[in-house]
Structure 1
Amino acid sequence: MTEPERPNVLLIMADQWRGDCLGSAGHPTVRTPFLDRLASQGTRYAKAYSATPTCTPARASLMTGLRPATHGRVGYADHVAWDYPTTLAGEFTRHGYQTQAVGKMHVSPERAQLGFQNVVLHSPLGIVRSARERGQDPDLVDDYLPWLRLRLGRDATFFDHGIDSNSWVARPWDKPEHLHPTNFVASESADFLRRRDPTKPFLLFASFNAPHPPFDPPAWAFEQYLETDMPDPPVGDWAEAFDPWANSADPTALVGTIPPDLLQRARAGYYGHMTHVDQQINFLLEELSHRGLRDNTLVCFLADHGEMLGDHHLFRKGFPYEGSARIPMILSGPGVPAGQVRDDVVELGDVMPTLLDAAGLPVPDVVQGRSFLPATLDRAEPRAWLHGEHTLLGQSFQWLTDGHEKYVWWSGTGREQLFDLDSDPTESHDLAPSPGASARLERWREVLVGELRGREEGFTEGGRLVVGRPVRPTLRHPISGGAEPG
């Protein structure tokens, strides 16, 4: 009896893509017809989260299957070495897959392969600038920049339009569309499909920088949203709690308000990126079909985190709220039910064991994430709740959710928040001050104490949460403990 052919794996990541920003998720503005079709061909996870929602820690969870307290990245910090012996790509490589990454990695050192046999790298603007400031050749940390110069001349850059990589300022892309970084990732990924080893299954990681700023999609994508009626961003009855950090004069600030016309442009740039990425993903999926690979390829689409985009007067990411922490996630391919929407709480750390499981490969014992394939097939119960965290604004925002409720604890002040996500998905009403919330708060508080027990920050003492402990974005002594998610 011959062994069944192992499936290929195409893992597609977008950067800073909100979980609600899909047509299939009912978004009132953004148009993503090809991702909507992908969702109809597989299963969409409506309650997928990034447990530590900024680029670097989120990618550590994805690539290792570890919880943040174990991989040690509980906030954002560049230039911290990635020294994980067991990785998603490494496991696929070890089991005979040809493994390729294209696009944004955001690891340190920048050329670290994380188990991939080859990486074609597009580093974000901040890393390229940092390399220059350190006297390093930017070509050592990016493959897109020399690719662009070959086509436009030796002085070409992808940031000479002046738009910052973390601001809400938006404008159309200033070069031919086929030279956009989004097109680069799609075309280089398609080229791998052309030149791959046909005797091996493959893992291809196609990692787009968009819709992360700079908000510079092609003009057609930008302009289609400029005059679109958009609902106002939600502003919670708790939003003034962030007033001490507000700086409306800084377009890179995490907290502030901006004039309506500029917010409209920011949203047009953000949504325009999404529509552009949607079409380039379709280009890549068509390449799969053209080469006869689509039927035996698992396709997983996800993001590293979201973007607040003015919700509650907040911008960017790192926050515990839905705009920042909830992400899109779609799984399609052999053995995956089509047209299904699941409300199971899943996270980036679950992707490594899920893809290994779906490919029929063993999951290493060190992996803490749990495959969500059994629950997708109704063969197991989903997790009961998820713990997330991020250091930001001088404290740690700790949060728990079961997909129906969310509990948030601010380590700097001890503030607690409680949201009913079923009746209030925009988190506009904080239930924590309500007299009837005390029992629910106590339940979540006990769960969080279990998660944080033994942490080096000293967040707990004698079975209670301790306020005001110093925090840092990386742990000196990562741990494997904490309460097990149900």
Structure 2
Amino acid sequence: MYRSLLFLFVLCFAFPTFAAEKPNVLFIAVDDLRPELACYGKQHIHSPNIDKLAESSTLFERTYCMVPTCGASRASLMTGIRPARKRFVNYLTWAERDAPGITTMNTQFKQNGYYTASLGKIFHHPKDNEQGWSEPAWRPQGISWYQRPENQKLHAERQKQGKRKRGPAFEAADVPDNAYADGVLAEKAIEKLQQLQKQEQPFFLAVGFFKPHLPFIAPQKYWDLYDHSQIQLPENYKVPQDAPAESIHSSGELRAYAGIPPKGPVSEETARNLIHGYYACVSYTDAQIGKLLAELDRLQLSDNTIVVLWGDHGWNLGDHTLWCKHSCYESSLQIPLLVRAPGIKGGQRRSALIETIDVYPSLCTLAGIPLPKHLSGQSFVELMHHPDTKWKEAAVSRYRNGDTIRTDALRYTEYTNPKGKRTSRMLYDHSTDPLENQNVAGKRTDESKTLSKQLNQIKGRDGKLGGK
């Protein structure tokens, strides 16, 4: 024991810089990114830079957002607490209003000696939790959504008809990467890394990319990575058998765009163009992430920087006839999550069920800073080290009047009215029906009852601020 204490004494006092050094954090968010990436086994997608990151990271194969809409999802992740029927509800959510007094992730890092900076989209509102950033949150300004003159004109004309009227849902233009916002964001993030590299203070740099969010606009070269004739509609391009009506929405987010009918299905060619455009945007954002990671290497910061890449929620590309997110189906809820950390072996995969509320405590653990008492999630760092670590048996999410639980093989969802009375439910067995084509809740009532009880126990346990 004496020798151990002596060693610590020498470590702390003879080498104070080494002992006090904390890892930096590069926190990369990608809007609307579903786990349709080559590193997730989808070889038709060109995502070489994210795939390269996966080679040095722990890739979590089954990660789920808390709410499938941006503002609410981000607020839940950044506060580390679960949503509820009246908390973290829609895309306009402010974390500081729905969870007043809660220490957000960026604030926790700032209070523990980190320089914190936000570029692009992290919270939905740039001024949300602004006291948690060491400098004002930054976003690209003055950049046109569209680069083709005819699309700029159409967008301007439709904007005069109302804020919900927009130009085309997709665009390919022969322009450089920085003609669009994410290219400018990548350049700004590289510049910020260069500034932070000169500081002695550890940094928490959050970079939130906008694509592949609608509209699906990207330079032509990224569209050219895909053969349009090979673009396929999803196998589950239909409403699941016996699915409750309230599980299917009208894809309202898409309806704002020119060329999209106000209701009903889009044409098959429009569907293919939307899918093609989404793929192009994924590749475009992948290229910007590659530039950022290359600069991290060039500045020799990689060895002491935790890198996290996550999507804020899933996305439907015609799945169950749906476009956008906003549902309790797997395709709306599953996200990619990659974590690279100093001292942890890369190239690993974990199939454990991860909830995005687990990200906050995990980053605190990796950085060696305290975990606030209010957190609902749990650190998965031990799971990164040891794949046989005992872990949670379910991931719970919600959207509006639907609450859903994902276990190893099953997804159970129940819808309730404002008084909490169940109005409908659905159960999908992923061992036999991974695309969720047949609702078997009515046939497998015992399993539905058991999952309902488990779901409501978790909701009740974590439903209040500060509850664990």
In which range does the TM-score fall when normalised by the shorter chain? Answer: 0.7 to 0.9
Name whichever of 223-232 and 321-330 sits farther off. Answer: 223-232
In structure 2, what residue type is equivalent to 1:145?
Q
8 Å contact kept, 1:51–1:347: yes
Q: CA deviation at 1:237?
A: 2.2
In structure 2, relative to structure 1, the CA distance for the partners of 1:170 and 1:332 (3 Å cut) is same
State yes or no: 1:60 paired with 2:65.
no
What is the aligned partner in structure 2 of residue 104 from structure 1?
121
Deviations 1:200-221 (A, max 9, x none): 1111101011111111111111
What is the aligned partner in structure 2 of residue 402 from structure 1?
407
State yes or no: 1:16 paired with 2:1.
no
Name whichever of 289-298 and 28-37 sits farther off. Answer: 28-37
**Gaps spanning 5+ residues in structure 1: where?**
123-143, 150-155, 456-477
**Gaps spanning 5+ residues in structure 2: where?**
1-10, 146-151
Q: CA deviation at 1:108?
A: 4.6
Q: CA deviation at 1:55?
A: 0.6
CA distance in 2, matches of 1:248, 1:89: 32
State yes or no: 1:264 paired with 2:272.
yes
CA distance in 1, matches of 2:360, 2:68: 17
Deviations 1:427-484 (A, max 9, x none): 12222132xx1221111111233244599xxxxxxxxxxxxxxxxxxxxxx72387x6
State yes or no: 1:37 paired with 2:37.
no
Percent identity, aligned pairs only, is: 27
What is the aligned partner in structure 2 of residue 204 from structure 1?
205
Work out the number of aligned pairs and report it.
Answer: 427
What is the aligned partner in structure 2 of residue 139 from structure 1?
none
State yes or no: 1:117 paired with 2:113.
no
What is the aligned partner in structure 1 of residue 148 from structure 2?
none
In structure 2, relative to structure 1, the CA distance for the partners of 1:295 and 1:109 (3 Å cut) is closer
Name whichever of 77-86 and 210-219 sits farther off. Answer: 77-86
The match for 1:353 among 361, 365, 374 is 361
What is the aligned partner in structure 2 of residue 480 from structure 1?
465
Alignment of 1:298-337 (within 5 A): 298-337=306-345
Deviations 1:380-415 (A, max 9, x none): 422111221111xxxx11100124211011225622
**Runs of 4+ displaced beyond 6 Å:** 156-159, 161-168, 247-250
Alignment of 1:47-196 (within 5 A): 47-69=62-84, 72-78=87-93, 82=97, 83-108=100-125, 110=127, 112-113=129-130, 115-122=132-139, 144-146=140-142, 169-173=169-173, 176-196=176-196
- Could you say what the CA RMSD is over the residues aligned between the two structures, in angstroms? 3.2
Q: CA deviation at 1:162?
A: 6.7
What is the aligned partner in structure 2 of residue 344 from structure 1?
352
In structure 2, relative to structure 1, the CA distance for the partners of 1:357 and 1:78 (3 Å cut) is closer
8 Å contact kept, 1:11–1:300: yes
In structure 2, what residue type is equivalent to 1:406?
R
In structure 2, relative to structure 1, the CA distance for the partners of 1:80 and 1:385 (3 Å cut) is closer
In structure 2, relative to structure 1, the CA distance for the partners of 1:114 and 1:421 (3 Å cut) is farther
8 Å contact kept, 1:405–1:421: yes
Aligned residue for 2:284, secondary structure, equals helix
CA distance in 2, matches of 1:260, 1:80: 39
Aligned residue for 2:308, secondary structure, equals strand
Greater helix share, structure number? 2
8 Å contact kept, 2:396–2:406: yes
In structure 2, relative to structure 1, the CA distance for the partners of 1:162 and 1:34 (3 Å cut) is farther
Name whichever of 313-322 and 405-414 sits farther off. Answer: 405-414
CA distance in 1, matches of 2:136, 2:40: 32
Aligned residue for 1:66, secondary structure, equals coil
CA distance in 2, matches of 1:285, 1:246: 38
Q: CA deviation at 1:292?
A: 0.6
What is the aligned partner in structure 2 of residue 439 from structure 1?
446
TM-score when normalising by structure 1: 0.79
